[in-house]
Chain A
């Protein structure tokens, strides 16, 4: 069995378990926000800090990798914008847009850590810092223009949320510690590593708990289009830009895998809050989560991983 397939089995198993826990009400729907919040606000920042602060990073290759990744997200935004020409309502378009640009980095973090070790995990973790703000700004802008919400978005609040995003703070502190050679060992490093160990299992369970199969029936045409954008167009864009920037080896494999990750659950929350098509978004997240387990190994194999 390949390392990628061997890493994907437990990931898929934990996601399925999360769905089962919610479906059987062993952990009821109303209890999951607390689990999500602990993961996003405390455990994932600790994991990102721990992974990045102790990573052995080579400047030139990482620079090209991050540039390609950042540009690829912008390119996906531009491609998704082109679909505004289709005769679809504004809220549905915003969900199509979010489906094209948002990625679930945590599934990939679990995969690359298990299949490629610390180097793979560190490269994946590094992508969060520059791309989380860019993706959020793009999605908020599109939802502000085409969303159906009556309320005007509070730009200061949105900006504040981006600046104080715990994931970005975790990445930046990790990069700073790495650059200054701080907290490589000792109680801070040990505590962050210990806390971070819980992040991925919890977030994978939460992803499973959020799956909504009934949403797959809503607007099948648009859903197929958003899934195609995410799992077929995005990997090609990431791969192409990686080649253009001279990225190779494991970094190129991770670039194509970023493109092939499932949609992020956060897109459903944003669609619900800002007048997007939340049902279409839930369908997109569910469909891409399931199909990514076929798409990711295929694209990774294509890139030589």
Chain B
């Protein structure tokens, strides 16, 4: 089992490391990544999510239960982050960053790892976990940063409703319900883009790693990373155990729970010009911790 897990994880983390390498070595300096990040946020990530949700078999017998557990896990993490932020009396900005990192797990990484470990047949279960997780995570992230920036509830809701990832998630579910997957010619360009999205997103994740951002505010940095990479897998695996989910379903929940924070969180922080350094540091830390935690959590889930 160790060999299977390592061979599944290694190329994914190698591409992330390659992204860091080409940026840090100056082969593709930081300024060139702005365009790639913009393309990621506005097209690749939404196209990827749309295709995952539009083409998934959401009538799979396990799908409904996994979707509910995923939503429960995300809401539990959001509540936990809220309690910690209130207990530590964090200001609105850092609080928004901690909550976003805790709740917005990296669904691209999750899908890549799960399909490498369990094959393409795991895709419908992954889609069931991804749909509520991404929608709750993206909504909480955008709303949190909007409120921290001083926007009222109505403008925050407006920003949330216009976010490309939220729109793509909803459009993907609507396309699935309408049976759009049958019309291959319509989906073909989105499918082509979606197929290429994964490596670009992984490379951009690596290029976005910022070790200098790890200096200072250690307690907040570690709180965010611990919520994502320690509490995340504990909550998701705990839910799997409590509801007797095993096999591929448990694996998907575990990998989602242990995944690093999504780079999308940084894009939102930058968009609102709020706590970008802290957010970059927390994402960097979650990527590093998830390299060790994700394979362990996957092994635990497979042993359930």
Contacts and interface: CB of A to CB of B under 8 A. Distances in A.
Given A21-B43, A190-B10, A35 B22 contact: no
A172 interface: no
Contact of A198 (B28, B43, B185, B200): B200
B196 A198 contact: yes
Interface stretch (B11-19, B52-60, B293-301): B11-19
A217 interface: no
Interface stretch (B100-108, B187-195, B222-230): B187-195
Given A26-B43, A197-B198, A34 B33 contact: yes
A224 to B, nearest CB: 30
A198 B197 contact: yes
B15 A27 contact: no
A204 to B, nearest CB: 8
Contacts of A9: 185, 188-189
Interface string B17-36: 01000100001100111111
A149 B38 CA distance: 35
Given A27-B42, A33-B32, A13 B27 contact: no
B7 interface: yes
B39 interface: yes
A34 B11 contact: no
A38 interface: yes
A250 to B, nearest CB: 22
Contacts of A26: 42-43
Interface string A23-49: 000111011111101100111000000
B46 to A, nearest CB: 11
Contacts of A118: none
Given A195-B203, A198-B200, A205-B39, A37 B28 contact: yes
A197 B39 contact: no
A202 B200 contact: yes
A12 B11 CA distance: 31
A35 B129 CA distance: 31
Interface in A141-159: none
Nearest to B195: A197
A42 B203 contact: yes
Interface string B166-203: 00000000000000000001001101110111111011
Contacts of B33: 34, 38
A179 interface: no
Q: Which of B11, B39, B185 has the most CB atoms of chain A within a 10 A radius of its CB?
A: B39
B288 to A, nearest CB: 19
- Main DSSP-derived SS at the B contact region: helix
A201 interface: yes
A34 B195 contact: no
B156 to A, nearest CB: 22
B170 to A, nearest CB: 19
Contacts of B15: 191, 194-195
Nearest to B112: A194
Interface string A199-242: 11110110000000000000000000000000000000000000
A270 B191 CA distance: 33
A168 interface: no
Contact of A21 (B11, B18, B32, B42): B42
Contacts of B12: 194
Contacts of B32: 33-34, 37-38
A6 B36 CA distance: 28
A187 B195 contact: no
A75 interface: no
A38 B42 contact: no
A296 interface: no
A41 B198 CA distance: 18
Contact of A194 (B27, B31, B38, B198): B198
A10 interface: yes
A292 interface: no
Q: Which 4 A-B pairs have the closest CB atoms?
A: A13-B189, A31-B35, A201-B196, A34-B35
21 contacts: A10-B191, A14-B192, A14-B193, A17-B193, A21-B42, A27-B39, A28-B38, A32-B35, A34-B33, A34-B36, A35-B39, A38-B203, A41-B27, A41-B28, A42-B18, A190-B7, A191-B10, A191-B14, A191-B15, A197-B199, A201-B192
Interface of A: 1, 6, 9-14, 16-17, 21, 26-28, 30-35, 37-38, 41-43, 110, 187, 190-191, 194-202, 204-205
Given A27-B42, A38-B32, A205-B39, 17 more contacts: A9-B185, A9-B188, A10-B188, A31-B34, A31-B35, A34-B28, A34-B34, A34-B35, A43-B200, A191-B14, A194-B12, A195-B199, A198-B198, A201-B195, A201-B197, A202-B39, A205-B193
